[in-house]
Structure 1
Amino acid sequence: MTTKTPLSGEDWIKAGFRALSSGGVQAIRAEAIARDLKVSKGSFYWHFKDVPDLKAQMLEHWAGQATDAIIADVEANDGLGLEQLRLLVEAATDDRNLAYGGVRTEGAIREWARYDSAAAAVLKAVDQRRLAYVAELFARCGFSATSSRSGAKILYGALIGLEALATGELADLRADMFALLSALLESGGRQGA
C-alpha cells in the first residue's frame, strides 16, 4: 500500500499555472485544480485562503522564479557580459517552465494582465526588471546606454513574440533567440564602434 505525499503550496501554484496556460484565468478554480491534482478541494484550503489568494501567490511566485531566480543564476556565473547574455537566453528558453504549463505560460499571464489590475502591476514590474537587467548585460558588453536599452527591448520583445510563435510550432525559441542575440552583438552598438 502506497501513501500519497501531501501537496505543497507550490504544487497548487504549478497546477494553477497549468490551468491558466490551458484555459485562461477563468480556469483558475479550486475545484477544477483539485480534480487535476486528484485530491479533494479541502486540500486547497490548507495552503490558500481562497482563489484570489492563490492568484496573488501565483503572481508572486512567477516574479520570483521566472525573473529573480534566473537573474541570480546568471549573476552566479563569473563570466563577462557576453557569457551572461548567452546564459540568460539559455535560461529563458530552457524547460524549467514545463511544470508550469510550458511555453504558453508567459502569454497566458500577459492575457490575464489585460483584465486584472493586480496581474498588470506585477507584469509591469517584471517587465521593467527584466528590461533593466538585459540592458545592464548589454552595457557590460560595451554597448552605449542608448544601444543597451534598444538591444534589451529588441531581445526581450523577440522573446515574447517567439514564445507566441513557438506555441504553434512556428519557431525554434532557443535557436531563434541565439540567432537574434548574435545579430545584436554584431550590430555595432558598442561604444566607439
Structure 2
Amino acid sequence: MNAKKQAAKSGKPGKRAGPVEASRLTRDDWLDAAFRAVVEGGFDKARVLMIADALGVTRGSFYWHFTDHAELISALLARWVARELALDKQLRAEATSDPRADLERLLEAALAHGGPDLENIRFELALRGLGRRDPTVAQMLVEVDEARMGLFAQKFQRLTGDPKKASELAALFYLAIVGSNQALSRPVNPPQVSEYLMGIISTYLIHQQAPAPASPARRRSGPKAA
C-alpha cells in the first residue's frame, strides 16, 4: 500500500475516508476544487478542510491523492503553468496572413470576461499576490511572463518589421492587458467595459503601429525627345 493510502487509512488528520468516497474523487477533482477556492477567496481559502467540505467528503479522502497541503498547492500551480505555456505555444504557431488580426485575437482572448475566463483572471491575480511573498511562485510567474512577452513580440515583429519596436510594443501590450484584467476582475462589470478597453488598446497599440502602405512608385519618364 502506498504512503498516501496509508495516511488516509491511518486516520492522518480528519476522519478516514471510505473506499467509495476515496475512489469517487480524482486528483483533478481536488485540483479543480482548490482552483475554485482560490478564485472565490484567494490562496488562504484553499485549505484542505474547506475544500473537503465544498466537495462533500471527509478530509481523509484528500490523502488518497496528496501527501499534504503543500503538495496540493504545488500541483495546482504546476498545472496552471503547464496550461499557460501550452496555450502560448499554440498561439505562437497560429498565424494568418494579417498580423493585425492575429494580435486582435490575442487581445480578445486575454480580455474575455465572464464564466471560466473571469475565473482565470481572478486566479492569476491571486497567484500574483502570492508571488509577492513567495520567491518560488515569483520565479514561476517570470517563466510565464517571458513566454507571453516572446509571443507578443513575435506577433508585433510581423506587424512592424522592427525588432526593437516589436519588443517595446509587446511590453506596452502586456501592461495594458494586466491593467485591464484588474479592472475586469470585479464581480459585476458591464460588457461594454471590456469592449471599450479592447477598442482603445487595438487602436493605439495595433492599428496605429502598422506601416503605412507604400505609395505607388512614380514611373520614371524616359529622356525627352529632342
TM-score of the superposition, structure 1-length normalised? 0.82
The one-letter code of the counterpart of 2:198 is: M
Indicate how the Cα distance of structure 1 residues 191 and 59 shifts in structure 2: closer, same or farther if over 3 A, else same. Answer: farther
CA RMSD of aligned residues (A): 3.0
| SS of residue in 2 equivalent to 1:44 | helix
Partner of 1:138: 156
Q: Distance in 2 between matches of 1:45 and 1:101?
A: 27
Partner of 1:28: 46
Q: Distance in 2 between matches of 1:99 and 1:155?
A: 19
Partner of 2:140: 122
Please list every run of 5 or more consecutive structure 2 residues that lacks an aligned counterpart in the other structure. 1-19, 215-226
Q: Distance in 2 between matches of 1:152 and 1:97?
A: 27
Q: Distance in 1 between matches of 2:124 and 2:198?
A: 16
Partner of 2:86: 69
Matches within 5 A, 1:153-168: 153-168=171-186
Indicate how the Cα distance of structure 1 residues 97 and 156 shifts in structure 2: closer, same or farther if over 3 A, else same. Answer: farther
Indicate how the Cα distance of structure 1 residues 96 and 76 shifts in structure 2: closer, same or farther if over 3 A, else same. Answer: farther
**Larger-gyration structure (1/2):** 2
Deviations 1:170-189 (A, max 9, x none): 87335523530232123336
After TM superposition, the runs of 4+ consecutive aligned structure 1 residues lying more than 4 A away are 189-193
Give the drift of 1:64: 1.8
Q: Distance in 2 between matches of 1:161 and 1:110?
A: 13
Partner of 1:86: 104
- Decide whether the 8 Å contact of 1:70 with 1:91 is kept in 2: no
Give the drift of 1:104: 1.4
- Decide whether the 8 Å contact of 2:38 with 2:45 is kept in 1: yes
TM-score of the superposition, structure 2-length normalised? 0.71
* Identical columns (%): 28
Give the drift of 1:167: 2.1
Q: Distance in 2 between matches of 1:173 and 1:136?
A: 25
| SS of residue in 1 equivalent to 2:25 | coil
The one-letter code of the counterpart of 2:149 is: L
Give the drift of 1:39: 2.1
Q: Quick one: higher RCO (CA 8 Å, sep 6+), 1 or 2?
A: 1
| SS of residue in 2 equivalent to 1:49 | coil
Partner of 1:181: 202
| SS of residue in 1 equivalent to 2:148 | helix
Please list every run of 5 or more consecutive structure 1 residues that lacks an aligned counterpart in the other structure. none
